[in-house]
A and B are shown apart, each in its own frame.
Chain A
Amino acid sequence: MLLIPCPWCGPRDETEFHYGGQAHVPYPEDPSALTDEEWARYLFFRDNPKGPFAERWSHAAGCRKWFNAVRDTATNEILAVYRSGEERPATPGPRPVRSACPGVPPPGESEDKSPSPSSAVKGTEPLLDGTGESGGGTAPISGSAAGRPFRHPTRGRIHRDTPLTFTFDGTEYQGLRGDTLASALIANGLIEAGTSIRLGRPRGIFSAGVEEPNAVVQIEAPFPEPMLPATTVELYDGLVASTLPGQGRLAGEPDPARYDAVHAHCDLLIVGAGPAGLAAAAAAVRSGARVILADDQPEPGGSLLGTAEHLDWVTDVTGQLDNAPEVRFLRRTTVFGHYDDNHLLAVERRTNHLGADAPEHVSRERVWRIRARRVVLATGAHERSLAFADNDRPGVMLAASARTYVNRHGALPGRRAVVLTTNDSAYDAALDLTAAGVDIAAIVDTRPAPGEWAECARQAGIEVLAGHAVTGTRGDPRLTAVTVAPYGESEGQREFIADLLLVSGGWNPVAHLFSQSGGRLRYDEALGSFVPDTCRQAVEVAGSASGALDLAEVLAQGAAAGARAVEAEGYTPQEPSLPTVAARPRPTPAMHVYTVPGAPDAPRFVDLQRDVTVDDLARAAGAGLRSVEHTKRYTTAGTANDQGKTSGFLAGGVVAELLGVDISALGTTTFRPPYTPVSFAALAGRDRGVLSDPVRTTALHEWHAAHGALFENVGQWKRPWYYPRDGEDMEAAVLRECAAARGGVAFMDASTLGKIDVQGPDAGVFLDLLYTNMMSTLKVGMIRYGVMCRPDGMVLDDGTVIRLAQDRFLVTTTTGNAAAVLDWMEEWLQTEWPELQVHCTSVTEQWATVALVGPRSRDVLGALAPRLAVAKDDFPFMAWRETTVADIGARVCRISFSGELAYEINVSPWEALTLWQALHEAGSPYGITPYGTETMHVLRAEKGYPIIGQDTDGTVTPQDLGMSWAVSKKKPDFIGKRSYSRADTVRPDRKHLVGLLPVDPAVFLPEGTHLVADSELPAPPVPMLGHVTSSYRSATLGRTFALALIKGGRDRIGERLYAPVGDRLVPVTVASPVLYDPEGARRDG
């Protein structure tokens, strides 16, 4: 969300502003001097440049001031703002591009980037009965059935004293607090996780995090939730889950949980509490800056939890963060969107992990709307897979993920593993797994000379096959054997018995948020992947998200980024204590491999979740698709709910190979929010049900409700619709209410009408410009009906204008248009006529208004207003009086929207109920009847009074409504005047508002019904003459009637037309819109 700097109030969210189109398009000096073409150019034509564009904005929800802004339409950046009437400033250039990693030397000069092997391997005791066979053996591996646990005796950050019972696919299992659903399954010897969506192939747990493509499950209890990666579901007691054949199932019942949202502001937001993020936080924690650290895991540490390194340091930094008053550490919080002006959205999973124990009043998930001055993205990296034959068997897993299961959860994903790698990082994992008791049958490295790391592995007794790759796998369905051969060859195959195949095809920085923020990526040759390059926002990327894989470098980058951020905000960072990283073997550059040849009939999967193979991508390339965006859409690779986290870049690499182009030129597909799926319930938050939209009520609302009113929504207002008595339907109630208004007395709550106080010496001049008719000649004490139009001549609103004093008017608007009309007035005053001395103030709620209607209304008013001379000549039509009614100070207007003698009584809303009850009591001898909007509509329609927005639709002029009398011929100009001489507005076949009488007086025409000329429908296209805008049953007329907009309607009065209703063509007669009391005899009672 943009922050727009109001020249008065400063930066505010864009939702507080209204857009006003191109700036510096002044209203012509003399519209009457313009040709139709010149006038049309003013009305309808605006520039639409790419780049800086001067436009008008209004701070609508703030100070209500119009101002101008120069916005770059290509980047959406606001380049400058200036006040209305000021000259457009010289346009500054776009924001400077900043480096994503200012402290890091540019590519080519960087130190060797190397993954870090564990220097101090923990938990070195082997498992009981660990298989110690050397590679190439053929003996099958015994599984958990042999009684050997898959839970490591000492490793893991699980609570061994807190067992949890859960059910998966109908079978009950035990897990431990600290497990994920995936780790608990692995600790139970399970790795299979359902079948794939398209091909139905068995799949297994592939990763240990949000990137999981395979193990997507349906949670059944405590509440059904579809498509959650088992790798991200924290285990709780009573969890019931099942595998999914690709598609989830939404709950059939409403979700009882609470979801909410909160806004937060900070100097520095750090995303990710791994080594880089924690180092950044440590540099900022004591500076006094307001810091938010968000991490998606239940505990901090990030990759260190997976490697079990430096966890004391993690604990130490966390303690500092939790005790710092201006620091907020959000655990279990995924930042999923990075928008304009460092507005980031995050979702915090607050009670999901508590299962059935979740307290009801605490929101289950919370959306954080964070506005950060600066952002450090320490989002880490995802390991990449490789496209080799049958690479989707359960038991194939990313190498670092296997290590995470062992160290974080003490869960062993297999007994005997083959490792396939293109880089050093998998050696670290292999050595650690060996120490934990997993037998490493062989490390298969595509590189011909893997260097010092291979030497380390060999010293540890692991066979290293340099220049080799995996050419196939076997298993039913779980992996039982892996075939390897020299890379690129089919000769020299060897088969290894293994239940685990660990893969590392390199690392992809998690650049999703950076990319969403507008940052550009560049191809990093050393890493063989895309890394953050530059961004216009105040964003830095630190750690492996920037491509750094060496832990010492990661920590240093994080600390430097955190320090730079708080320093830039005026705070003093401190030098954080960082853990000492032990020396490592010398790194060997990674080899950039994407596909590995294999048996021709064996699929090589690229996107496991969408079942997209190398062959599918080859078909796309063969079909002529040359862009990754197109191959993505053609094959669906990367479109599943994992959004291609493990496969996206692999797909790019494969496409580049197929096309024979450089991957750096091919680029990546676009990263869009959300980073991980977010439920609609979380996004909706509390904005649902009764809180989804404000309900506006009048001071009399409770009386209406207590007296059985049904309500109609008019804008956000609740207005009484009608008041049914025992057993009445709407038709009966409205006929009764109408009869009371025409025959006796009735009253209605009219408080929702918009009211605007217009004050100043130029108030009359201003209203003359605004309305089509003359207002400045109105006498104090009198009222005039007025119509307001847009410059194109179409009706915008109507209402009454009351002259309170020489320089003060009270203007009423329709209920739904009150805010729009006030904005309209302010727009013209501020941007076109700033020289006019006049101000407009909303007083809609300052007054409660009661319409008292009917031939007996004078009797009722007279009884309650002893000081008011109510006789016809003393208090004429369209006059107003200040008096007391029922001892309440009141302004009484003689206005009628029904054609009957009628009054509008305005009082303070604090006293409205007293007035209403007094009217009810005083009117009871005359059978006073409360009526609602439906009766009001019938009464006004019988008189042919249009309702703006119901009988008009923005294409209707006052003349079309038959209101030429309200369009001044004397005024030199007013808004809309010039348009009335345009060729289009003087066409004889414009649609006019007319009455319609169905020939059968009982037939009701639905609103919106079309009208045609002939009694038989011709072949389509059928020429349409117009449509019904209002339709009612009239108690007075004893029949149905309607209002309609009909081409040349006033010239058709008396004509027979036809209205298709269902299968019938209903004959109707065109009539004058005034069907009741056309002479106006009833107005004075």
Chain B
Amino acid sequence: MADTALTAPLRSPLSQVAARLAAATRTSRGAIRLAEVPFLAQINVRLDVKGAAADAIGLALGLQLPLEPDTVVRAGELTVLWLGPDEWLVAGPTGSERDLERRIREAAGDEPVSVTDVSAQRTTLLVTGPRARDLLAHGCALDLHPRAFGSGRCAQTTLGRAQVVLVARDEPRAGFWVLVRSSFAGYLADWLLDAATEYV
């Protein structure tokens, strides 16, 4: 729906916080970088891996759905997150949600696959920089050390008091994506800015 004819600019959940995130990034002098990555296309896919749909959808998207828990697979502009043994989140560039949903449905054919556009359900925060891991450790009980949570890892867990999906970005220094429910995004941004007090 977001990619229907637009007459007004889209407003992301953290559009009002962007300046504060940028200011914290600036004053940290490279220690951390905080920014919203708004409007990513996000499609929730549910299917039984014992059927043929997983391979068909993988083929259509040019990748293999990750079967190992808490891992991601990337191909081109797409990132696919394992959310459960029968659940994935396909993330793509802004505005591609309709196309993605259609491609996945077509690939699934008659298989019982659930495909749901959840692009606005969560927004994404970029947390990077040399102190990114220290920053998240203030509120995340998971071990985010590269030995335990390196490239290719993702996890649904709690950050501060909000549920999030954490994704380790490609390179060890590239930090994290933090996907958060839109209604919690303002709280989480406040929490991150507060936790960053000693780094900015």
Contacts and interface: CB of A to CB of B under 8 A. Distances in A.
Interface of A: 8-10, 12-13, 15-16, 61-65, 258, 260-265, 290, 361-363, 369, 371, 686-687, 690-691, 693-699, 701-702, 717, 752, 757, 759-761, 837-839, 841-847, 884, 886-890, 907-914
22 contacts: A16-B157, A16-B158, A61-B156, A63-B84, A63-B156, A261-B138, A371-B143, A686-B191, A695-B186, A696-B184, A701-B186, A759-B115, A841-B116, A841-B118, A845-B181, A847-B120, A887-B7, A888-B7, A889-B1, A911-B2, A913-B8, A914-B8
Interface stretch (B11-19, B28-36, B54-62, B72-80): B11-19
A886 B6 CA distance: 10
A262 B158 CA distance: 14
A361 B191 contact: no
Given A61-B157, A62-B157, A845-B122, 4 more contacts: A696-B184, A845-B120, A907-B1, A908-B2
B112 A760 contact: yes
Interface string B84-114: 1111000000000000000000000000101
B3 to A, nearest CB: 9
B84 to A, nearest CB: 4
B120 A909 contact: yes
Contacts of A262: 134, 137-138
Contacts of A265: 143, 145, 148
A363 B137 contact: no
A911 B10 contact: yes
B85 A695 contact: no
Contacts of A8: 69, 84-85
B186 A884 contact: no
A62 B156 contact: yes
A703 B147 CA distance: 46
Given A10-B69, A263-B140, A846 B119 contact: yes
Interface string B15-26: 010000000000
Contacts of B186: 695, 697, 701
Interface of A is mostly: mixed
B171 interface: no
Contacts of B145: 265, 290
B63 to A, nearest CB: 21
B13 A909 contact: yes
Contacts of B181: 696, 844-845
Interface in B146-196: 147-148, 155-158, 160-163, 181-184, 186-188, 190-191, 194-195
Contacts of B83: 63
Contacts, number: 168
* 7 residue pairs, one from A and one from B, having the closest CB atoms: A839-B46, A759-B114, A839-B114, A889-B1, A696-B183, A265-B143, A910-B10
A918 to B, nearest CB: 9
A1032 B134 CA distance: 51
Contact of A260 (B2, B120, B142, B195): B195
Nearest to A886: B7
A1021 B35 CA distance: 63
Contact of B155 (A9, A260, A687, A911): A9
Contact of B183 (A693, A698, A886): A698
A637 B54 CA distance: 67
A694 B160 contact: yes
A55 to B, nearest CB: 21
Nearest to A697: B186
Contact of A717 (B7, B122, B160, B183): B183
A690 B194 CA distance: 11
Please indicate which of the listed interface residues B1, B13, B69, B198 has the most CB atoms of chain A within 10 Å of its own CB. B1
Contacts of A694: 160-162, 184, 187-188
A194 B30 CA distance: 52
Report the contact-size class of chain B (Cβ under 8 Å from the partner): 35 or more
Contact of B191 (A691, A702, A841): A691
Given A263-B137, A908-B2, A845 B84 contact: no
B111 to A, nearest CB: 10
Contacts of B161: 687, 691, 693-694
Contacts of A361: 197-198
A846 B112 CA distance: 23
Interface string B112-130: 1011111111100000000
Contact of B121 (A264, A845, A913): A845
Nearest to A841: B116
A910 B12 contact: yes
Contacts of B44: 841
A699 B11 contact: yes
A846 B117 contact: yes
B121 A369 contact: no
Contact of B5 (A690, A844, A887): A887
Contact of B39 (A702, A839, A888, A910): A910
Contacts of A62: 155-157
Contacts of B84: 8, 63-65
Contacts of A910: 2, 10-12, 39, 120
Contacts of B158: 15-16, 61
B141 interface: yes
Given A694-B187, A909-B182, A843 B195 contact: no
A699 B182 contact: yes
A757 B139 CA distance: 31
A362 to B, nearest CB: 6
Nearest to B187: A694
Contact of B182 (A845, A884, A911, A914): A845
A173 B156 CA distance: 56
